[in-house]
Chain A
Amino acid sequence: MNMDNSVNYSQQQLALDQMFKDINPALSARQAGIESSRCYYCYDAPCIKACPSKINIPSFIASIHADDLTGAAKTIYKENIMGGSCARVCPTEILCEQACVRNHEAEKAPVKIGLLQRHATDNAEFEGHPFERAENTGKKIAVVGAGPAGLSCAHRLALLGHEVEVFEAQPKAGGLNEYGIAKYKLTENFAQEEVDFILSIGGITVHYDRALGKDISLSTLKEEFDSVFLSIGLQDTSSLYLEHEDNDSVLNSVDFIKELRQATDIDQLDIPKDSAIVIGAGNTAIDIACQLKRLGTEEVTLVYRRGEAQMSATGHEQQIAKNHQVRIKTWSQPEKINLDEQGKLRSMTFSKTYLDQDKLKSTGEQFEVPCSAVFKAVGQKMAYPQTEQLIPTISNGKVATFHNQLTSIEGVFAGGDCTGVGQDLTVEAVQQGKLAALAIHQELTSSEEK
């Protein structure tokens, strides 16, 4: 990708970046050369099948091995324009690297596909954007939300010759890459550099601070554009339903991560010194726990009501938490948030749990964990703007999509976390955006032929 790093860094910003150094450092050229030689260039390669965005992995690795990083990066971007961030945030241990045939050998060591992808995307050099746009089709498409799904969709549409206008509720594009990914996974200003890289294809206009249901409405977009893609993400968080949950020291993890990712100085952050409790078992819970440790919180306890095997965070993620000296307390459910006489958070009370024929039950035994802050990471929800007149069918709390990412409304497509498909991975969002773009293109160009 290799964009100009034009941001002026302050000393404080540098200090913060130093604290959040890459958890998975890049390969050197020599390491990449050796690692790339480990790929067997499989027939009907299982890694491609396991990649949600269907990157031709053996091909890009062969290009790395032949010293053609430009060719390698182009192969990646052809299927996944966010190949740079996916190389960093993808849970490769449950995707391509899990499928690698080298797991079945005695040494059980898959090719480090994620790191190789990063090597290619970090080091490839392009004169301008790697792809050339097709001739202008005269069609205009609105994309709502500039996260991975929206950006991927916008890029593919621009590539195919359409004009795209993106409406983003936040002051910056990138979605969770900018606001939600752990700082040690996407370091420094990578998210914005990637956005700049994607937009450099041309034909995409981003309107910032324009939220659906407030500044724009689906019905107007439908009138003004030939097609609409919805990728609004998740806006709301789940609750513990406990008394004192509104206390100032009981926080939503996603809000804190967002603050941290936008902070330019550590002093802007309110960091618990002695102890913090994280409630949850997903990757967000792991992310916040590890980041608190890096920020200096002495004791971080991650509490989950079931066991390690039931955690949605992968084994790899759990290991990251352990490496950060995060204490993981399983089979414990929140009972009470305890405040002192001044109304300051003092501790939380949990009760021990067990499984009784698939039903979680309390043993009745309780214990207390002192803390100066609680971080909730018990899930996010979609809150479709109620002010909207035109609302697509919502199913299980998410925008329902049918064939080719089409919603219940004609000409309106959707993708990313706001739809209920997959595991809310960045790479899935990118793929859904891409597929939607192809479907939109198909629809707009074939209707013309009629």
Chain B
Amino acid sequence: MADLSIDFVGIKAPNPFWLASAPPTDKAYNVERAFEAGWGGVVWKTLGEDPAAVNVSSRYSALYDHNGEVSGFNNIELITDRSLEINLREIEAVKKSWPDRALVVSLMMPCEEQIWKTILKQVEATGADGIELNFGCPHGMPERGMGAAVGQVPEYVEMVTRWCKEHSKMPVIVKLTPNITDVRFPARAAKSGGADAVSLINTINSITSIDLDAMAARPIVDGKSTHGGYCGPAVKPIALNMVGEIARDPETAGLPISGIGGIGNWRDAAEFISLGAGSVQVCTAAMIYGFNIVTEMKEGLSNWMDSKGYENIEAFKGLAVPNTTDWKKLNMNYKVVATIDEDKCIGCGRCYQACEDTSHQAIEVTANEDGTNSFGIIDDNCVGCNLCEITCPVDDCITMDERSKGQPYMNWMQDERNPHREEV
């Protein structure tokens, strides 16, 4: 049985599944329930200066998939709306009761060194394992000069990170906002400031939908709305890319990463870890299904690791990073062509429709005597785009077969079709 325990920048946890700083980690009651359910750690919902933030009523909205399940989630909640004193007291008590679990405290303070110095001492006194700097909150807080307003300026990221390292012994994790053109810049700034790790992504500025009767975006607060922060399965591809960018950036390579963004099962977690994450944080899935989902996440990850012979998390961490590269380094001599398994084909014709209308006219249709149709690939027209395989509703009916003709690796920089190619 695989060992799921982690040591993330000195923060130990029995498994890599942490709850992200968000409503599920708002107070002792929730966090205790999470630990009882088996979560490896939590990042306590962001603490701020007193007086505490005040929230509006009607706070969440969602994007639904074809079956009515939540695929994207949006919130306009602020950081904790409870006093600093209550939060600190609860953090101390919970950490005492659960010494083996990771307890990281998320912080958001105005950009003044003295204020940070004070809060760092207070948090350190609770016995918490580390801090996460919330430089990502995209709504409400930036209007007050905090959250994403800091995260979007690499110089501020570096400055505040440095203060935290100077005034505290705790590991410092810098949480990055995706609402920026190139996530590598704030990541590099965090590293220069001395950050022990980065965590990403925070939520993405979003409007999930418009109520066409009220003519207002959801969630609606007395007829008006505002953009919120987007998370859930729909943001996973964006988060994975940003994690990958930081993992393979020579300037930040090796900087520990806590992966966040649409993680809802063991496979999502394994994907983030293979792209370099040392722990993963979950929020939306827990908010939709409750804390018990961690049971299947741990079990699934452990079973998969056993099947692959990975004894611990380190064994497969970052294995997909070297295979994530720039387009110009891809092999131009590699070729795949679609193949349709006629025995599995149910005759829906989606592949044909898609290829004919929107791709390369590489599928031919043959009318059968019984009124059904058969579909076949025209090899010469197929560019190996995968579209037919994606549209096909039957597992393994359309496969992409390699047809490379034993030619050597040749990338675009070497390709003679490239007028700007580098001379060999």
Total interface residues on B, using CB and 8 Å? 16
Among A40-48, A145-153, A154-162, A186-194, the stretch that binds chain B is A40-48
Residue numbers in B under 8 Å from A102 (CB-CB): 346
Q: Does any Cβ of A come within 8 Å of B406's Cβ?
A: no
Complex interface bits, B41-80 against A, C-beta within 8 A gives 1, otherwise 0:
0000000000000000000000000111000000000000
CA distance A43 to B350 in the complex (A): 6
CA distance A173 to B75 in the complex (A): 57
Complex interface bits, B390-415 against A, C-beta within 8 A gives 1, otherwise 0:
00011000000000000000000000
CA distance A46 to B373 in the complex (A): 9
Q: Does any Cβ of B come within 8 Å of A14's Cβ?
A: no
Q: Does any Cβ of B come within 8 Å of A329's Cβ?
A: no
A40 touches B68 (CB 8 A): no
Out of B349, B353, B371, B394, name the residue touching A49 (CB < 8 Å).
B371
Out of A30, A34, A41, A104, name the residue touching B347 (CB < 8 Å).
A104
A105 touches B373 (CB 8 A): no
CA distance A46 to B346 in the complex (A): 11
CA distance A167 to B348 in the complex (A): 45
B66 touches A65 (CB 8 A): yes
- Chain A residue nearest to B345 in the complex (CB): A104
Q: Does any Cβ of B come within 8 Å of A33's Cβ?
A: yes
A101 touches B347 (CB 8 A): yes
Out of B68, B348, B349, B350, name the residue touching A33 (CB < 8 Å).
B68
- Chain B residue nearest to A30 in the complex (CB): B68
Residue numbers in A under 8 Å from B346 (CB-CB): 101-102, 104-105
- Chain B residue nearest to A41 in the complex (CB): B350
Q: Does any Cβ of A come within 8 Å of B372's Cβ?
A: yes
Out of A30, A43, A101, A104, name the residue touching B353 (CB < 8 Å).
A43
Chain B nearest CB: distance from A65 CB in Å? 7
Q: Does any Cβ of B come within 8 Å of A37's Cβ?
A: yes
CA distance A102 to B348 in the complex (A): 9
Chain B nearest CB: distance from A35 CB in Å? 10
CA distance A40 to B350 in the complex (A): 8
Interface centre among A43, A44, A102, A105 (most CB of B within 10 A): A43
A46 touches B372 (CB 8 A): yes
Out of B371, B372, B393, name the residue touching A40 (CB < 8 Å).
B393
Within 8 A of A (CB), among B308-358: 346-350, 352-353
A40 touches B348 (CB 8 A): yes
B371 touches A42 (CB 8 A): no
Residue numbers in A under 8 Å from B349 (CB-CB): 42-44
Size class of A's contact patch?
10 to 19
A42 touches B350 (CB 8 A): yes
Interface centre among A30, A44, A102 (most CB of B within 10 A): A44
- Chain A residue nearest to B353 in the complex (CB): A43
B68 touches A42 (CB 8 A): no
Residue numbers in A under 8 Å from B394 (CB-CB): 105
Chain B nearest CB: distance from A410 CB in Å? 34
- Chain B residue nearest to A105 in the complex (CB): B346
Given contacts A40-B393, A44-B373, A105-B394, contact A34 B350 (CB under 8 A): no
Within 8 A of B (CB), among A27-67: 30, 33-34, 37, 40-44, 46, 49, 65
- Chain A residue nearest to B69 in the complex (CB): A34
Residue numbers in B under 8 Å from A40 (CB-CB): 348, 350, 393
Chain A nearest CB: distance from B184 CB in Å? 39
Out of A34, A44, A46, A104, name the residue touching B68 (CB < 8 Å).
A34
CA distance A329 to B209 in the complex (A): 60
- Chain A residue nearest to B347 in the complex (CB): A101
CA distance A391 to B20 in the complex (A): 84
- Chain B residue nearest to A103 in the complex (CB): B346
Within 8 A of A (CB), among B23-48: none
Out of B67, B348, B372, B373, name the residue touching A34 (CB < 8 Å).
B67
CA distance A30 to B353 in the complex (A): 29
Chain B nearest CB: distance from A37 CB in Å? 4
CA distance A43 to B67 in the complex (A): 22
CA distance A49 to B66 in the complex (A): 26
Complex interface bits, A86-121 against B, C-beta within 8 A gives 1, otherwise 0:
000000000000000110110000000000000000
Residue numbers in B under 8 Å from A46 (CB-CB): 347, 371-372
CA distance A23 to B365 in the complex (A): 40
- Chain A residue nearest to B351 in the complex (CB): A43
Chain B nearest CB: distance from A58 CB in Å? 10
Chain A nearest CB: distance from B304 CB in Å? 24
Chain B nearest CB: distance from A157 CB in Å? 31
CA distance A33 to B69 in the complex (A): 11
Residue numbers in A under 8 Å from B67 (CB-CB): 34, 37
Residue numbers in A under 8 Å from B347 (CB-CB): 42, 46, 101, 104
**27 residue pairs bridging A and B, Cβ less than 8 Å apart:** A30-B68, A33-B68, A34-B67, A37-B66, A37-B67, A40-B348, A40-B350, A41-B350, A42-B348, A42-B349, A42-B350, A43-B350, A43-B353, A43-B365, A43-B373, A44-B349, A44-B365, A46-B347, A46-B371, A46-B372, A65-B66, A101-B346, A101-B347, A101-B348, A102-B346, A105-B393, A105-B394
Which 7 residue pairs of A and B lie closest in terms of their CB atoms, listed nearest first?
A43-B349, A37-B66, A104-B346, A43-B353, A101-B346, A42-B348, A40-B348
User: A42-B347, A42-B348, A46-B371 known; 19 other A-B pairs, CB under 8 Å?
Assistant: A34-B66, A34-B67, A37-B67, A40-B350, A43-B348, A43-B349, A43-B352, A44-B349, A44-B373, A46-B347, A49-B371, A65-B66, A101-B346, A101-B347, A101-B348, A102-B346, A104-B346, A104-B347, A105-B394
| Residues in B lying within 8 Å of A, measured CB to CB | 66-68, 346-350, 352-353, 365, 371-373, 393-394
| Residues in A lying within 8 Å of B, measured CB to CB | 30, 33-34, 37, 40-44, 46, 49, 65, 101-102, 104-105
